[in-house]
Amino acid sequence: MNLCELTAHELGELLKSRQVSAVEATEAAINRIEAVDSRVQAFVTRTVEEAFAQARAVDAARSRGETLGPLAGIPMALKDNICTVRIRTTCSSRMLADWVPPYEATVVSRLKEAGAILLGKLNMDEFAMGATTETSAFFPTRNPWDLERVPGGSSGGSAAAVAAGEAFYTLGSDTGGSIRQPAAFCGVVGLKPTYGRVSRHGLIAFAPSMDQIGPLTRDVTDCALILNAVAGHDSSDCTTADLPVPDYRAALNTDIKGLKIGVPREYFADGLDPEVAAIVRRAIDKLAELGAICEETSLPHTEYALPTYYLVAYAEASSNLARYDGVSFGLRVPGRDIEEMNINTRTEGFGPEVKRRLMLGTYALEAGNYEAFYLKAAKVRTLIRQDFEAAFNKYDLLVTPTEPMVAFRLGEKGNKKPLAMAAADSYTSAVSLAGLPALSLPCGFSQGLPVGLQLIGPSFAEARLLQVAYAFEQNTEYHRRRPALEVA
């Protein structure tokens, strides 16, 4: 049996019945990383000793007859902007290349309590700014389906690790599509929860009014299990909602008869690859075949979502990243005085894409530009949110392509062609501006590469998203396909 081909819940059943130990599962995952990560390059930091120590602790607890949760003993990994105490957290930037946080993120604490085994930290676009994982200061991550293509970003390492069988699940972060886009490119399930459903405490900020932590998994059941573990109010994050957390796994069933699903026509306009469009249309037909009522609808302000997202996100990034000045923590490049030290530090510490976004965000916030740019974007953001509210007065969910194309080649777009990269956020950014939950799951293949289907729900409707995704998944085979990675 190849343990690394299992889902997390399949492995959990073997652990529960003691057919496999947590140490054996951890050894299998680490061996898989050794075999393939030199080519995939998903990991920035590996925590082998810590992982085996955690696995031994889980096995000891199980041998004592303790009641353990469904994630106990299952190896996983984290995007490297999620703080881990005593383990470096780099944001894939020179600025934080050697930084070891003195505290850990709430989601990490919750997964530890659930008995998760941490294999290490995963590569990403620097400070989560990018859609290819090519802006990492260390190395680009590669798509396991085709090593000459990007895995998406900014959570590219998180998606690639799951697709390559290096971790049974991972956590990423999503500001404008950074979980959903790489999930689509790598053929895995990726969920951006409602803003406030999962704590951001310990997540290094990019744009705090949109940042959310969420799971990347091999199937929908795993996604529900991980959300169960990390969701809920956190006194350390005042933006989390003090609402009950449903049992997301219990919500999984295949009965979607009578559900009303809207199909926004704006997501099927120019720029969408014809083959991707056809595959997504077939997926929508499958939902209708299962009993859902699928109707065309409109989100009229969609065309303004991308520029609005960039203005808001870049302005917030400009404010957040001002703290990296060479004084308190992180990289320090000496200068003749504090001003020169600050300039030298930021010049050497930040890569080209981060600098570009910071300059644009700072420009938008200047006194003479604030009303013309940032304030106007904030007003349009309200209109976009109202579009969704109107749609959800009529529909239970909306369905769209996750991305207008399949994964493209390394170096084809990237930070040398920032305008060409805009398409990567075009189908995901409006959801982030509105703070809504959205899930991407595989719905077919084009050119041998995965295509993602995006389900969008009203606030705190994750259970409904997971139910519809599960119904689709259980009546198709796309989630069972794995990339044919040659093992070293």
pLDDT tens across 316-330, in order?
A: 999 999 999 999 899
Nearest to 114 by CA among 74, 71, 79, 148: 71
pLDDT tens across 88-136, in order?
A: 999 999 999 999 999 999 999 999 999 999 999 999 999 999 999 999 9
pLDDT tens across 37-78, in order?
A: 999 999 999 999 999 999 999 999 999 999 999 999 999 999
14, 19, 24, 25: CA torsion to nearest 10: -10
Tell me the one-letter amino acid at 49.
Answer: E
Which of 21, 154, 199, 429 does the annotation list as catalytic? 154
pLDDT tens across 249-291, in order?
A: 999 999 999 999 999 999 999 899 999 999 999 999 999 999 9
State the average pLDDT over residues 214-233. 98
- 154 is annotated as an active-site residue: yes
Bridge partners, residue 453, by sequence: 401, 441
- Say which range, 148-152, 421-425, 442-446, 473-477, has the weakest mean pLDDT: 421-425
State the average pLDDT over residues 13-23. 98
Q: How confident is the model at residue 424 (pLDDT cuts 50, 70, 90)?
A: confident
State the average pLDDT over residues 327-337. 93
pLDDT tens across 136-175, in order?
A: 999 999 999 999 999 999 999 999 999 999 999 999 999 9
Which of 178, 318, 429, 459 does the annotation list as catalytic? 178
Q: Above pLDDT 90, what percent of the chain?
A: 94
Nearest to 173 by CA among 206, 140, 197, 196: 206
Which of 79, 121, 192, 413 does the annotation list as catalytic? 79
- 79 is annotated as an active-site residue: yes
User: Who's near 219: CB < 8 A, 6+ residues apart?
Assistant: 7, 9, 189, 473, 479
Q: How confident is the model at residue 417 (pLDDT cuts 50, 70, 90)?
A: low
Domains detected in the chain:
3-259+394-480 (3.90.1300.10), 303-378 (no CATH)
Would you say residue 414 has pLDDT above 90?
no
Sign of the C-alpha dihedral computed for residues 87, 320, 411 and 133 taken in this order: positive
Q: How confident is the model at residue 488 (pLDDT cuts 50, 70, 90)?
A: low
- 17 is annotated as an active-site residue: no
Q: How confident is the model at residue 420 (pLDDT cuts 50, 70, 90)?
A: low
Would you say residue 465 has pLDDT above 90?
yes
Sign of the C-alpha dihedral computed for residues 241, 245, 248 and 253 taken in this order: negative
